[in-house]
């Protein structure tokens, strides 16, 4: 496992640099929540999920739905580095005519499973895909990343009720629990705690981890595979802006790109 983790950490460093470069080139975007989600996405795309960039519509592929669509820079980097499109294209983020818009659009870019952006909707979409898999006898897994600010949306809880009701054990929800949203601390804007108890009440298998600890991430994903008769949620405790010291736990980096004169130094300091 150590060799796998070292490889994943190396990929994550490049993904974090991609996030900084692409948002800087665009002079807009959401680096903070992209950086907090990076380690989990890297584990999914480069270790866990069954997918093939040469066959992006393979019916047997595992699916990843980014419900917190503003973290698109991390998703785009993982897709590019998985071979879905050229890495150089990451520099076109948010530019007019680019396939890499500020939020993912399924019809424009191979590998994007759902068009997301309006918060709260991705889990409902993931439910539908997971339920279809059950009905059709598919053996694919559906992963859906939600945000903690996003979890203030009522639609998340309607969807969670549905996940539990239909016993979607082929669904794994991942909460990027970085505790910050655009307006400040999640607990101050609208407290979602006790989030673990809430998902348990909706008949979820609940796992809580350090969302930057690769061993814990990989083990949680393996545990989710073994659970039968109920969906799983992984509550991943993360750090907004993780890996870029001036951005870590700073709410102002939720939706602000670094300046071009800062870029080189920040990329060198990524950890």
pLDDT digits (tens, 9 = 90+) for 69-99: 999 999 999 999 999 999 999 999 999 999 9
Beta pairing, strands 184-185 & 180-181: antiparallel
Q: Is 143:49 a contact under the CB 8 Å cutoff?
A: yes
- What is the value of pTM for the model shown? 0.97
Q: Is the pLDDT of residue 2 over 90?
A: no
The alpha-carbon radius of gyration of the chain (Å, integer) is 17
Distance CA 81, CA 46 (A): 9
Q: Is the pLDDT of residue 102 over 90?
A: yes
Beta pairing, strands 205-210 & 142-147: unpaired
pLDDT digits (tens, 9 = 90+) for 223-247: 999 999 999 999 999 999 999 999 9
| pLDDT range class, residue 147, cuts 50, 70, 90 | very high
Instruction: Supply the pLDDT for residue 244.
Output: 97
**Phi and psi at residue 114, to the nearest 5°:** -150, 140
H or E element that contains 33: helix 31-43
Query: The tokens 């010291």 sit on which residue?
Result: 245
| pLDDT range class, residue 271, cuts 50, 70, 90 | confident
Q: Is the pLDDT of residue 9 over 90?
A: yes
CA triple 256-261-88, angle to 5 deg: 75
Instruction: Supply the pLDDT for residue 3.
Output: 87
Q: Copy the structure tokens of residue 137.
A: 């006898």
Q: Is the pLDDT of residue 171 over 90?
A: yes
Instruction: Supply the pLDDT for residue 203.
Output: 98
Distance CA 3, CA 247 (A): 29
Q: Is 69:103 a contact under the CB 8 Å cutoff?
A: yes
Distance CA 9, CA 11 (A): 5
The DSSP string of 219-241 is HHHHHHHH--SS-EEEEEE--TT
CA 41 to each of CA 8, 66, 125: distance values in angstroms, whole numbers, following the listed order: 10, 10, 19
| pLDDT range class, residue 1, cuts 50, 70, 90 | confident
pLDDT digits (tens, 9 = 90+) for 35-45: 999 999 999 99
The domains located in the chain, with CATH, are: 2-269 (3.40.50.970)
Instruction: Supply the pLDDT for residue 113.
Output: 98
* Separate counts of helices (H) and strands (E) for the chain: 9, 7
pLDDT digits (tens, 9 = 90+) for 197-211: 999 999 999 999 999
Q: Tell me the three state secondary structure of residue 249.
A: coil
Q: Tell me the three state secondary structure of residue 96.
A: coil
Distance CA 33, CA 38 (A): 9
Q: Copy the structure tokens of residue 253.
A: 């980096």
């Amino acid at each position: 496992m150590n060799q796998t983790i070292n490889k994943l950490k190396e990929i994550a460093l490049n993904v974090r640099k991609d996030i900084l470069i692409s948002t800087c080139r665009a002079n807009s975007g959401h680096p903070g929540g992209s950086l907090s989600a990076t380690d989990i996405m890297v584990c999914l795309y480069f270790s866990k999920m069954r997918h093939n960039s040469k066959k992006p519509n393979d019916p047997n592929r595992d699916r990843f739905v980014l419900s917190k669509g503003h973290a698109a820079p991390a998703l785009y980097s993982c897709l590019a580095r998985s071979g879905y499109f050229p890495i150089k294209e990451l520099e076109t983020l948010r530019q007019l005519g680019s396939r890499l818009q500020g939020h993912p659009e399924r019809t424009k870019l191979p590998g994007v499973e759902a068009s997301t952006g309006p918060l709260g909707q991705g889990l409902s979409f993931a439910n539908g895909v997971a339920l279809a898999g059950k009905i059709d006898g598919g053996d694919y897994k559906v992963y859906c990343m939600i945000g903690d600010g996003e979890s203030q949306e009522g639609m998340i809880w309607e969807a969670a009720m549905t996940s539990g009701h239909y016993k979607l054990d082929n669904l794994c929800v991942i909460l990027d629990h970085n505790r910050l949203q655009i307006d400040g601390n999640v607990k101050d804007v609208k407290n979602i705690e006790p989030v673990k108890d809430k998902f348990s009440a909706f008949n979820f298998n609940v796992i809580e981890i350090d969302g930057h600890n690769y061993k814990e991430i990989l083990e949680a994903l393996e545990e989710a595979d073994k659970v039968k008769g109920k969906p799983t949620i992984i509550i991943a405790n993360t750090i907004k802006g993780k890996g870029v010291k001036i951005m870590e736990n700073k709410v102002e980096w939720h939706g602000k790109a670094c300046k071009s004169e800062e870029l080189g130094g920040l990329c060198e300091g990524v950890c």
